[in-house]
């Protein structure tokens, strides 16, 4: 609560204990019991760096001190940031799913529900939407200040981020659910909730993430650096390509009363859209397999798009390294036989 006010913010910035310990403590505590209040704090700390951010109404301000500390902490402690990022991905997938389920239940159950139960469901829907937007803004901040984590770091980070972007777009901009977003939200009778649950609100951080990733890839190409291909990951998805029309045509200034300086990079959306449309249409995934696969046994039975080049030990069950790496972030047992994993064999 105190971090919402500029004078208290300044006190935290001037306090040595806060500067040294607050950010690492927040990242460590971002877990099942405390992620909601911590996400609210992080959103306040990241404020002012997002795409299409709203015009200030007097109380908004930017904490450059803690933004730098947040950047430095995550850059210097890769293990801490990796653990936080995994929890952030998992939590966002959950909140977006719950939002979609809540919208469906509101539409299907409006007539048969008791009034109190209906209002409770609407409240849950609004909360899940707001939490999703907050978490997306946090993720957008990291894609801006630490784009190398996705573009030049482990390929799994970029894959998970692109999958999350697709997941959000499917619910809000593309496909049957996305295209009917306004119609589905209209079933919420609470006007306050309808006013907050707008397509532009949730798509703004997604647009920011796409812009940040694309700019980072262009910079890596200009420098001749090895990097993960954002375009290849995104071009595998019809929802992303379809959604680019929505993102390009969105009247951001009108829809969100956005600050003009927060829209200076909007041209990159058009450039990304053109690049995606020019991509070859035979991409089937983010991972390509060189040399082909000789038999069905060579294929990863989880994603069916890569070679089963890694084995769990001691059980010996095989899958591709990317699927196994993602699984081990949250579970240390073989996903085929449930045996404890002691090590991996990548020979």
| pLDDT tens, N- to C-terminus, the chain (347 residues) | 677 777 788 888 899 999 999 999 999 999 878 899 999 999 989 888 899 887 555 555 678 899 999 999 999 999 999 999 999 999 999 999 999 888 888 777 655 555 566 678 888 888 999 999 999 999 999 999 999 999 988 788 998 898 899 889 988 888 777 778 887 777 675 544 556 788 899 999 999 999 999 999 999 999 888 888 888 888 656 678 888 888 988 888 877 777 777 888 889 998 998 888 887 555 544 444 444 444 556 777 776 667 888 998 999 888 888 788 878 877 888 888 888 898 888 87
Position 237 scores a pLDDT of 60
Position 195 scores a pLDDT of 62
Distance, in Å, from the CA atom of 313 to the CA atom of 347, rounded to the nearest integer, reads 12
User: Could you give the strand order of the β-sheet that contains 310-313, starting from the edge strand earlier in sequence?
Assistant: 318-319, 310-313, 343-345
Cis peptide before 314 (omega within 30 of 0): yes
Position 288 scores a pLDDT of 45
Position 91 scores a pLDDT of 94
Distance, in Å, from the CA atom of 200 to the CA atom of 173, rounded to the nearest integer, reads 10
Distance, in Å, from the CA atom of 174 to the CA atom of 65, rounded to the nearest integer, reads 38
Cα distances from 343 to residues 103, 110, 217, 324, in angstroms, run 43, 51, 33, 11
Position 286 scores a pLDDT of 45
Position 60 scores a pLDDT of 58
Position 25 scores a pLDDT of 94
Position 194 scores a pLDDT of 56
First to last CA, the chain: 53
């Amino acid at each position: 609560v105190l971090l919402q006010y500029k004078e208290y913010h300044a006190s935290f910035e001037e306090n040595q204990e806060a500067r040294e310990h607050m950010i690492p403590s927040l990242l460590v505590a971002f877990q099942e019991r405390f992620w909601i209040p911590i996400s609210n704090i992080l959103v306040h700390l990241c404020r002012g760096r997002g795409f299409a951010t709203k015009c200030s109404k007097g109380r908004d301000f930017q904490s450059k001190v803690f933004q730098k500390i947040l950047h430095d902490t995550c850059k210097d402690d890769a293990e801490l940031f990796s653990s936080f990022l995994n929890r952030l991905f998992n939590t966002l997938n959950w909140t977006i799913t719950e939002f979609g389920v809540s919208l469906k239940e509101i539409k299907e159950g409006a007539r048969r529900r008791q009034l109190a139960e209906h209002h409770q469901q609407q409240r849950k829907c609004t909360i899940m939407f707001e939490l999703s937007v907050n978490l997306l803004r946090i993720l957008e901040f990291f894609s801006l200040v630490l784009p190398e984590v996705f573009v030049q770091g482990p390929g799994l980070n970029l894959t998970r981020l692109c999958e999350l972007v697709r997941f959000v777009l499917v619910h809000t901009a593309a496909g049957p659910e996305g295209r009917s977003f306004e119609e589905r939200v209209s079933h919420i009778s609470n006007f306050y909730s309808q006013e907050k649950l707008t397509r532009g609100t949730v798509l703004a951080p997604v647009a920011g993430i796409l812009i940040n990733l694309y700019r980072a890839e262009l910079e890596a190409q200009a420098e001749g650096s090895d990097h993960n291909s954002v375009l290849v990951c995104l071009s595998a998805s019809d929802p992303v390509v379809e959604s680019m029309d929505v993102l390009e045509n969105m009247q951001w200034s009108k829809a969100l009363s956005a600050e003009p300086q927060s829209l200076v990079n909007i041209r990159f959306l058009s450039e990304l859209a053109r690049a995606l449309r020019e991509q070859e249409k035979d991409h089937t995934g983010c991972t390509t397999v060189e040399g082909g696969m000789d038999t069905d046994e060579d294929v990863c039975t989880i994603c069916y798009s890569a070679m089963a080049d890694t084995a769990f030990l001691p059980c010996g069950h095989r899958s591709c390294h990317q699927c196994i790496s993602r699984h081990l972030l949250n579970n240390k047992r073989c996903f085929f036989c449930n045996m404890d994993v002691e090590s991996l064999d990548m020979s």
